Amino acid sequence: MLISLLVLCSGCGRRGVRAVATGDDVDGRPAPPAPSHGVTATAEGIQATRSFAANLEFDPDLVAVVSAPARGLVERVFATEGDRVRKGDPLAELKSVEAAGARTSWSARRAQLALGHEDLARAQRLLGVGAGSERELEQSLAGVGRARAAEAHAATLVRMLGGGGNLRLTSVTLTAPISGTVVRRSLFPGEHVNANDQKVLFMLADTSRLLVMLDAPEAELGRLKLGTAVEVSVFAYPDRVFRGSIEATAAALKRRSRTLPARVSLNNEQGLLKANMAANVTLLERPVSDQE
């Protein structure tokens, strides 16, 4: 009889464990979703194999940074974190001595190019009346070529400084290199900036597509293949599922964790997902009916 009582008590303990594991915390509140390790069937007949914890990140191909192209003083700032901008929109304006120097240099190179063209025209006229030589003409042509290259270089520098075709350039306008959202701003009016510092003044990101980064255990590599369909869920939207597929895996496992980094790309045109969100990724296999 003592043995029977021990068996019954043991069975009660197991039932208690199952009751706690149904998804409620000990205080009665719903527990956050945890990665599943079993095989389940979805409503669409797709077989889910396993889920992994993951993290949302910006797509590095859709991120751009803005640094100071010249030494200067920040006069005005037009955009700040969270602002949506279009490519070419002004972000900030700098007062720059280097910008004024670039303007002066470009003006001088333009004058030299004009003189070169005059010299070339003179050499052509003299050769036409028999008073010049082919060598003088070749020298004039070479001079025009050098002057044109110098003028183009000076003009490029002015454009890099945001001056366009403005010969009165005394300031530098920093513009957005891509359309997107300002995710970092690190300059203020009155601050001195320098191109040599390589400081990131603005970071912009196009959030219409985000990456889901996950680490799969070594034992799951047989299922982790390019093109494998996945479902992604986040705590912010527990009733929504975002679908994608494995688009890339790393070439080597992480030495300590023995896991393989993998990447999923998600469409985020609605802007619901945010970088650094925690996510849960479920790998899916082909429909259950196809596996019979």
Q: Dihedral through CA 70, CA 60, CA 261, CA 279, nearest 10?
A: 120
Contact residues for 248 (Cβ-Cβ < 8 A; gap 6+): 226, 262, 263
Long-range contacts from 221-230, C-beta under 8 angstroms, 24+ separation: 221/260, 223/49, 223/50, 223/283, 223/285, 224/249, 224/260, 224/262, 224/283, 228/283, 228/284, 228/285, 229/46, 229/283, 229/284, 230/264, 230/281, 230/282, 230/283, 230/284
Class of the domain covering 98-160: mainly alpha
SS3 167: coil
**pLDDT reading at 272 higher than 50:** yes
Please, which pLDDT band fits residue 244 given cuts at 50, 70 and 90? very high
- The CATH number corresponding to 32-59+207-291 among 1.10.3330.10, 1.10.20.10, 3.30.360.10, 2.40.30.170 equals 2.40.30.170
Task: Identify the residue with better confidence: 167 or 98.
Answer: 98
Tokens 């003088």: give the residue: 136
pLDDT at 251: 92
Among 33-42, 60-69, 105-114, 130-139, name the one with the lowest average pLDDT.
33-42
Q: What is the mean pLDDT of residues 68-80?
A: 88
- Reported as a pLDDT band with limits 50, 70 and 90, residue 104 is low
CATH architecture of 62-96+170-205: Beta Barrel (2.40)
| Confidence tier at 99 by pLDDT (50, 70, 90) | low
Q: Do domains 62-96+170-205 and 98-160 have the same CATH topology?
A: no
Predicted confidence at residue 20, as pLDDT, reads: 30
Domain ranges of the chain: 32-59+207-291, 62-96+170-205, 98-160
Predicted local confidence at residue 21, as pLDDT: 33
* 233, 264 Cβ separation under 8 angstroms: no
pLDDT in tens, 192-214: 888 778 899 999 999 999 999 99
Mean pLDDT across the chain: 77
